[in-house]
Structures are given as structure tokens and as C-alpha cells.
Amino acid sequence: MPPMTVKELLACKAARRKLTMIATNDPDEAHACELAGIDIIASGAQVFPQLRAAAPGCFTRPAVHRPTYKASNEDAIRSAFSLMEQGADSVYMCPGIDRIRAVAQMKIPVFGHVGMVPDNQTWIGGFRAVGKTADEALMIYREVLELQDAGAIGVEMEVVPDRIAAAIAERVEICVISLGSGPGCDAECLFACDILGSHNQHYPRHARKYRNLYEESVSAFKEYREEVANGAFPSPEYTVEIRKDEFEKFMDHLG
């Protein structure tokens, strides 16, 4: 099955069909996303060709290269076109409304980002929820409207109070993706590494750990070390045999 079109993605909003998005830069995880029926895959630009090949049926949303943030609108358009030529269904940008408008005017489907934007966290006093006051909530609403007016097809809304996120999603036409912003948006996003529990770093409050692969990895590595130490591994089923006569000839040559 081919990935959904932009028209189909936006129709899901009207039909109130909730979408799922997973962020990953690993082709195997991308393939698993497709097998699991995940709708959207978010990724970086450099690994995108491998992810596109691994998950041809998922709607993809790679990020435009970071260097374009300090470059011209033309550079951003060039990078976005390059990703689309590699098979992207849309792109993600967070460099400013003028860049997003320039890309959207070229009919390239583009997503923006509001709320707690990691790259811009210094302007809000660090990594924190945004929109817990009426003034901040109105600021987020205006930013979403700006993105919509600029031609964006969607926006990632990160760590915004759930009622604020739901109220905004109901009032705009573009796809609102929740990353820690509650169930009232048009899509939910989590990072694959958080879902899998595959790292030993900080897990955000909004990230649900469905598995704990990190602890399972430690346990597996420990079991492997112990079996090597006591001689249980490698056992015959994991080794290659040589015929007795050939081995004897080899030993004769060694002397």
C-alpha cells in the first residue's frame, strides 16, 4: 500500500480518525512501524533514504537539514525539494514563519512546531511546559494560525496543556500533532527509543515506556558473558565442524 496523500491526511482530521506518529532514525524501527500500522514516521534528513526504503507504506516527515536555519529561503527550498525527490511525503521545519511560507509556496507539504521547541528553549527559560497561562496559550494559538496562514499542513505541539491543545486543534484546519500535549489533537507522537525503553537517559514525563529493552539488553549481555566464562557458549550448534580426516591432515602439516 502506498502512503496516504496530504489530502487523505487532512481528511482524517475531519473524520476524527486519530493518527499515530513515531520519530526514529533507525531503518529497522521504521520497518517495524510499517508492520505495526503506524501512520507517520518522523526522521532526520541524512538517514531518510534508508527509512523510506524500509517503510514505503508510511507517510514520512523528515526534517530539513539544520544548516538551512541560518541560510536563505532558497537554501531551505532546495533542501526540501531534495527530500521530496528522495520520496518524502512532507518535510518538517522550525526556522521561522518566513521559511515555512517560502517552502509552502512551492507546494511542498510542510510541518511547523510550537510549544516547547527544544532548539528555542532558552527563550522560554529552559525545558518546560508552555501554555499554562492564558497569555502563553494565546501566543501558541496565534503561532498555529500563522503557520496555517503560511501554508503549513500541520504542526507539532510539544508539552502544551491538554485542554489548550484540544481547543486549538478544534479551531484550526491543519493537522495538530501532540507530543506531550494530551489526547485532544489530531495525531499522537512518541520517539521510538522511549516507546521501546532502549536507552538509559531521561524519559520525558509524557513518554510511555511500552517495553524496557535497555534492561533486557543488560540482562542478555550479562548472560552472554557468564556463558562464555563457564564454557557454555559457544556450544556445538554455534560452531562449524571439519571432517576428522581433513583435521588430521591439517595437524600433520603443523607437525
CA-to-CA dists, residue 21 to 38, 62, 81, 118, angstroms: 6, 12, 22, 18
From CA 180, how far away is CA 183, in angstroms rounded? 9
Q: What residue type is 90 in one-letter code?
A: S
SS (H, E, C) 206-250: CCCCCCCHHHHHHHHHHHHHHHHHHCCCCCHHHCCCCCHHHHHHH
φ, ψ (nearest 5 deg) of residue 176: -105, 120
- Residue 107 is classified by DSSP as T
From CA 91, how far away is CA 89, in angstroms rounded? 7
**End-to-end Cα separation, the chain, in angstroms:** 64
For helices 73-85 and 97-105, give the axis angle rounded to 10 degrees.
50
State the catalytic residue, choosing from 29, 143, 156, 158: 158
Q: Say whether 146 is catalytic.
A: no
Do 208 and 190 form a contact (C-beta atoms < 8 A)?
Answer: yes
Which residues are catalytic, by number? 158
